[in-house]
Amino acid sequence: MLSVAVWVGEPGESRGDLDQVHPPEQGKVRGRDAAVLRDGRQVATHLDLPWEEDDPGHWDRAAGYDGRILLAGRLGPDNVADAIRRVSPWAVDASSRLEAAPGVKDHAKVRAYVEAARSAA
């Protein structure tokens, strides 16, 4: 597991293993154009597809993406293994689906997510 510092615009002093940098014109931390940096060099693209609904077709489109991707968007313990098998991403991201309350991680959900991701890798 790696820690990721998330930025909009120019990254500051990194506090993570990786930096996820979103263009300032997005005005928010979301979108497929985010760069994933290690030591100031891009190593992948943060691909956060529109997940308004659980549509596995998004994974098929993500699998066709050219280059390394960090797959994000509505991933949880129940679907991360399938997403990994179908897309073969460089890495996966998880956030709100692992929360017990806004901003508070549920440790059991995090554990289940990691176990599911490892089972598919």
4-53 pLDDT, tens digit each: 777 677 777 767 787 777 776 655 545 556 778 788 788 888 777 665 55
Does pLDDT of 107 surpass 90?
A: yes
Does pLDDT of 112 surpass 90?
A: yes
Tokens of 26: 């997005």
Q: Where are the domains of the chain?
A: 4-120
Res 54: pLDDT: 61
Tokens of 57: 């077709």
Q: Determine the Cα–Cα distance for residues 116 and 3; give it in Å rounded to an integer.
A: 19
Tokens of 99: 């929360």
Does pLDDT of 90 surpass 80?
A: yes
Tokens of 108: 């059991």
pTM of the model: 0.75
Q: Determine the Cα–Cα distance for residues 65 and 45; give it in Å rounded to an integer.
A: 10
